Amino acid sequence: MSFEVILQNLVDHVPQAVGAILVDWEGEAVMEHCHCDPYDIRFIAAHKGIILVRLKEMQSSADIGEVEDVVVTSSKGHLIIGCIDKDYSLVMNVDRSCPVALALYHFRRAISELKREI
């Protein structure tokens, strides 16, 4: 299954999904599928690195185990960030009305599929 198909399936199966993007370690877009201006999802994804760096600093100092994913909830939506491996991450943006548990279920399935492809 291609990256494009995995991302499209993720966005299509998550109600109120705005988009999902696969990014490399520098925050550069590898592939995205979204219902918004691609620039918007790329901008969000480029800044995910700041969040992951801070979490990894906490992880190493607190010995909490490896960070797999994180959900940042704002008044308008949920931003889900997940590590595929040391070089690639998946970022998904969903509307606030989407149940987080449902979004995480599909997000984690997509992460597993992407790990097999990479």
Give the tens place of pLDDT for each residue, 43-89: 888 877 677 767 777 766 667 777 789 899 999 999 999 989 988 99
pLDDT for residue 17: 97
The CATH topology of domain 3-117 is Beta-Lactamase (3.30.450)
Domain ranges of the chain: 3-117
What does the DSSP assignment read for the chain?
Answer: --HHHHHHHHHHHSTTEEEEEEEETTS-EEEEEESS-HHHHHHHHHHHHHHHHHHHHHHHHHT-----EEEEE-SSEEEEEEESSSSEEEEEEEETTS-HHHHHHHHHHHHHHHHHH-
pLDDT of 91 over the 70 cut: yes
Please, what is the average pLDDT of the chain?
89
pLDDT for residue 61: 66
Q: Which pLDDT band, with edges at 50, 70 and 90, does 9 fall under? A: very high
